[in-house]
Structure 1
Amino acid sequence: MTPRQPAPLFSTSQLREQGWTRARIKECAERGDLLEVSRGRFLPMRKSTPESVRVAARSGCWVTCFSALKLYGLWVPPMDIRPHLTTTWRRLETGRARASDLGKHRRLNRPVRGGLVVSPKDALIAAVKCGTPEQAFIVLESALKLGVATRDEVREILTHVSKKKARIIGVPGSRSDSGSESALAFRLRKLKLEFAQQVWIRDVGRVDILVGQSLVIELDSWQHHQADRKAYHRDRERDAVLIARGYTVVRLAYAHVFFDWQKYEALLRGYIKRRLHKRPVRAW
């Protein structure tokens, strides 16, 4: 599946075909509702236009890497807010773009056609080179889950980093239901723990992660529970059934995984040390 260009550009002729007059195009450009990115090619400027797109449009660049993947709807781990941008060598040579806006991202040999965001594949290549192994793992799992990339494409993308980094990233899968679940899967593998994802347990349903045979880890969405009180109570009922059958249940929120991991890693290590993942469980 190829997602739609998140920031399409429109030529004068395309706008005319949609019923725009030359006077209206000129008026909107003067008012700032249309930004002429290059000669005769315009970007509609709306309140909803992402900041990364605005910055790219005004600096002669294209959005790439994690910033682009976020625009395509992939799970992107929390990181610095500065947009990840790229441009062509020619634009740098002619002064239409500045190297200081780009950071370490690879320069393009040719312009991106049709919009201000690079393709999903190019954004993924940039991300696996730019980010940490964990960050790369998260976006690659998201690409697989959402059908943005195939397993063969992911393998090819990983050839763009060193063999050492590719080995640390490992083999992304499509079982994770969120970026925090991908992050947790990456960290559990780093701890050399045996685990399975999206495991069906009789009379309970599917759980996010099962470590060993008896340690269940669920990833909670605060927004989900705020929007659905019934889901909150249903999850607690599931926990009660699991505990009665001998499971240990740990619930982690997004903030626990990304901003307070040291504390919860210590908690999980303590459970493993006490062998709570090896306890016998009842099938009823």
Structure 2
Amino acid sequence: MLIAFMRCVEPLDALIALDAALRGGMIAKEMHARLRGNRNGQLRQLLNRANPKARSPLETIARYELEEAGATPEAGAELPIGELDLLLGRLDIETDGHEFHSQRADWEHDRHRDQWLIAHGYTPLRLTARQVLAHQTVELVRPVAQRLGWWPDCASRP
């Protein structure tokens, strides 16, 4: 059923479904064996890009758009402070949906994380759900990543 769905939707929507299915243990990367033949080439490519560490559609959208722009963020990077949404070099890209970032305790937790990250040489960059859904991820991330030397076209890295 997932394969039929993936054939009917845009690649980004298929990737969102794949990430969720992998994270939920509903499918495995071994699904490749069922995707033989020329007509499944794009589906195999999407499966290669799918990541079970994506915890939300916002993370998948941001990762997909950054990858399409030539960057290779790491999803679900583990640090002592916790799991990051996306890590590009030492730029922590957080996709803040309303559900997990709207209460005072959530806000304080996010500030504590940001302070820890800065103290340990990382730069946190928080994107709102509205920004991600409006497909502004690349335009917001690229200038910061370039300034820090973490965008792919930067000649030298810090």
TM-score with structure 2 setting the length: 0.80
Q: Which has the higher helix share?
A: 2
AA in 1 matched with 2:110: D
Match of 2:138 in 1: 265
Task: State the percentage of identical aligned residues.
Answer: 28
Q: What is the count of residue pairs matched by the alignment?
A: 151
Q: How far apart in 2 are the matches of 1:135 and 1:183?
A: 9
How far apart in 1 are the matches of 2:62 and 2:96?
13
Which consecutive residues of structure 1, in runs of 5 or more, have no partner in the other structure?
A: 1-121, 280-284
- The superposition leaves residues 23-72 of structure 1 with CA deviations (integer Å, 9 ceiling, x where unpaired) of xxxxxxxxxxxxxxxxxxxxxxxxxxxxxxxxxxxxxxxxxxxxxxxxxx
Q: For residue 170 of structure 1, report the CA deviation from its aligned partner.
A: 4.8
1:242-270 superposed Cα distances (whole Å, 9 cap, x missing partner): 12333221112322212x223x3112121
Distance 1:160 1:131, change over 3 A: farther
Shift of 1:160: 7.5
Structure 2 portions without partners, runs of 5+: 151-156
- 1:126 deviates by 2.1
Aligned to 1:239: 114
TM-score, normalised relative to structure 1 = 0.48
Q: How well do the aligned residues superpose, as a CA RMSD in angstroms?
A: 2.3
How far apart, CA to CA, are the structure 2 residues paired with 1:225 and 1:178? 13
Within 2, Cα distance between the matches of 1:161 and 1:238? Answer: 46
Deviation at 1:164, TM superposition (A): 4.7
Deviations 1:201-234 (A, max 9, x none): 23x222111102x1001121212233x4212111
Q: 1:168 to 1:271 in 2, by over 3 A?
A: farther
Q: How does 1:141-180 map to 2 (within 5 A)?
A: 141-153=19-31, 155-156=32-33, 158-159=35-36, 162-166=39-43, 168-171=45-48, 172-180=50-58
After TM superposition, the structure 1 stretch with the greater mean CA deviation from structure 2, 157-166 or 214-223, is 157-166
Task: Give the equivalent residue in structure 1 for 2:91.
Answer: 215
Q: State the match for 2:153 in structure 1.
A: none
For 1:257 and 1:147, how far apart are their aligned partners in 2?
Answer: 26
Deviation at 1:167, TM superposition (A): 5.6
Aligned-partner Cα distance in 2 for 1:253–1:267:
11
